[in-house]
Amino acid sequence: MIQSILDNDLYKFTMQQAVHMLYPRAHARYEFINRGLTPFPDGFAEKVELKLEKMADLKLSLDQKTFLEKSCYFLTPVYLDYLESYRYDPGEVMIKQDKDILILKITGPWYRTILWEVPIMAIISETFFKMTCQKTATALERRAINLNKAKVLAANGVKFADFGTRRRYSAGNHKGLIQDLLSRENHTLIGTSNVHFAFLFNIKPIGTFAHEWFMFHAALHGYQMANPSAQDAWVKVFHGDLGIALTDTYTTDVFLSTFDTFHAKLFDGVRQDSGDSFAFVDKIIQHYKRLHIDPSAKTIVFSDNLDVEKAVKIHQY
């Protein structure tokens, strides 16, 4: 299910470097929240636990390290040496099942436990689909769907990145999707958040930071200082690289209240991950204008539950 140590989203590695550099003594606890109240079948936790134990064998290969050195220039030699020695410790994960309820917690040093979230979510998703025998399209049907998505997005000039690891049907399906997208001439796929598939297909790994970066800084400095302190810490590590700021951890309005001229000029753009995408565009444009910044020189990345139709409408707007 998990193909390699790189079968994870890029922002987990970028944040791990930042944590390793700035907060090596911080401890964290993650807890699985079943937002859809999905009932899990008998024996589900045991199946997942077996997959997690196998992850202890994963390690960074020389070819993978070379790829990261070339494609992720913002990752330091010190961090890459650390990642080369890193091994998942299944002892950091507690998983059990109470009837159809899954209980899962991850506890330990933040610089270590930060890598667990995405692959665990991918394992939960794939295990669920396998155990419940949910029907899916045939290989030919999936390819037709994938190629049509690529066709529509390209015809409308929509540049997009794959960000599907944590909710994928399976690792094989995920790989097939990217293969299909890349097979179309003049596709507009600019990369993937999944570093394993970026390595496999020699495409750009995409990502910056996640909500947990802001959540940690809220715990450290208080909620009022969470956004600016998180951005300032990020800049200390990456010096202007990876400059797409996440806006919605404590609502966009709260984020913008401290997204001053300094930060707005320093960061290349922002990411919208909740709320009304169209209202967000208007709000961000007006905010840049108030700061006397040309909005057309900035970028908005949209990542909130997109499908092809919605992506096209947002792009046209």
Instruction: Give the CATH number of the domain where residue 64 resides.
Output: 3.20.140.10
Give the chain's length.
317
Sign of CA dihedral 268, 159, 14, 201: negative
User: Do residues 250 and 311 share a domain?
Assistant: yes
244 bridge partner residues: 269
User: Do residues 146 and 117 share a domain?
Assistant: no
Tokens of 14: 């970028």
User: Do residues 197 and 267 share a domain?
Assistant: no
- 102 within some domain: yes
User: Do residues 160 and 72 share a domain?
Assistant: no
pLDDT of residue 42: 97
Question: Rounded to an integer, what distance in angstroms lies between the CA atom of residue 70 and that of residue 63?
Answer: 11
User: Do residues 144 and 128 share a domain?
Assistant: no
- 242 within some domain: yes
pLDDT of residue 261: 98
Tokens of 192: 């993937």
pLDDT of residue 135: 79
User: Do residues 15 and 124 share a domain?
Assistant: yes
User: Do residues 124 and 151 share a domain?
Assistant: no
User: Do residues 36 and 115 share a domain?
Assistant: yes
User: Do residues 101 and 157 share a domain?
Assistant: no
Whether pTM > 0.95 for this model: the answer is: yes
Sign of CA dihedral 162, 163, 169, 172: positive
Q: Which of these three, 109, 132, 155, is where a domain ends?
A: 132
Q: How many domains does the chain have?
A: 3
- 1 within some domain: no
**Average pLDDT, consecutive stretches of 10 residues, N- to C-terminus, the chain (317 residues):** 97 98 98 96 98 98 98 98 98 98 98 98 97 88 96 98 96 97 96 98 97 98 96 98 97 97 98 97 98 98 96 98
- 5 within some domain: no
- 2 within some domain: no
- 279 within some domain: yes
Q: Which of these three, 201, 225, 240, is where a domain ends?
A: 201
pLDDT of residue 207: 96
Residues spanned by the domain of 312:
211-316
Q: Which of these three, 88, 116, 132, is where a domain ends?
A: 132
- 275 within some domain: yes
pLDDT of residue 137: 87
pLDDT of residue 136: 81
User: Do residues 93 and 180 share a domain?
Assistant: no
Question: Rounded to an integer, what distance in angstroms lies between the CA atom of residue 78 and that of residue 293?
Answer: 36
Tokens of 225: 């200082």
